[in-house]
């Protein structure tokens, strides 16, 4: 493994971290900036969006940010994404393919969890997501995501 590959791997890890922190903070424009301008976010079996503006619209439901949702416990709402076991399946100078597990926690515990399959490409001095497939494995019955998807 040479220095350029080590740098590329680190850039991918940085993009993954920026994505999760932006999502947890409700900063959807920053989250979308982790994608190439024509990048695609696909939620397997649910929806897909191509381009940063479309990704923001998909994740926001086209609406302005609302008050924090109610929680089962009555605790103040938050969410924290944890990404684990990031595996680099293919690495070339122009493309990196990865897979990882994720779980999202809120004040009432684990909300939903699943897998990411990503394609990253170099853009300037960063590696950005060209295509992300988020596959949901399960969600808690009274979770924030379950309530949002039932609307």
- What are the tokens at 119? 């394609």
Share of the chain above pLDDT 70, in %: 91
Minimal CA–CA distance to 145: which of 93, 106, 101? 106
List Cβ neighbours of 4 (8 Å cut-off, separation of 6 or more): 93
* Mean pLDDT over each residue of the chain, to the nearest integer: 91
What is the pLDDT, as a whole number, of residue 69?
62
Q: Domains in the chain and their CATH numbers?
A: 3-149 (3.10.450.50)
Reported confidence tier of residue 94, pLDDT bands at 50, 70, 90? very high
pLDDT single digits (tens) 74-93: 778 889 999 999 999 999 99
Minimal CA–CA distance to 144: which of 115, 119, 108, 117? 108
Minimal CA–CA distance to 88: which of 80, 97, 101, 75? 97
């Amino acid at each position: 493994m040479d220095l350029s590959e080590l740098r590329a791997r680190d850039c991918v890890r940085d993009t993954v971290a920026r994505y999760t922190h932006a999502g947890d903070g409700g900063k959807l424009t920053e989250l979308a900036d982790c994608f190439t301008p024509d990048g695609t976010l696909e939620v397997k079996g649910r929806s897909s969006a191509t381009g940063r503006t479309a990704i923001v619209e998909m994740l926001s439901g086209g609406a302005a940010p609302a008050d924090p949702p109610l929680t089962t416990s009555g605790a103040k709402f938050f969410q924290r994404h944890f990404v684990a076991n990031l595996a680099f399946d293919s690495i070339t100078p122009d493309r990196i393919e990865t897979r990882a597990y994720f779980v999202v926690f809120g004040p009432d515990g684990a909300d939903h969890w699943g897998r990411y399959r990503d394609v990253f490409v170099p853009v300037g001095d960063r590696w950005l997501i060209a295509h992300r497939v988020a596959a949901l494995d399960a969600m808690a019955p009274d979770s924030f995501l379950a309530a949002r998807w039932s609307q």
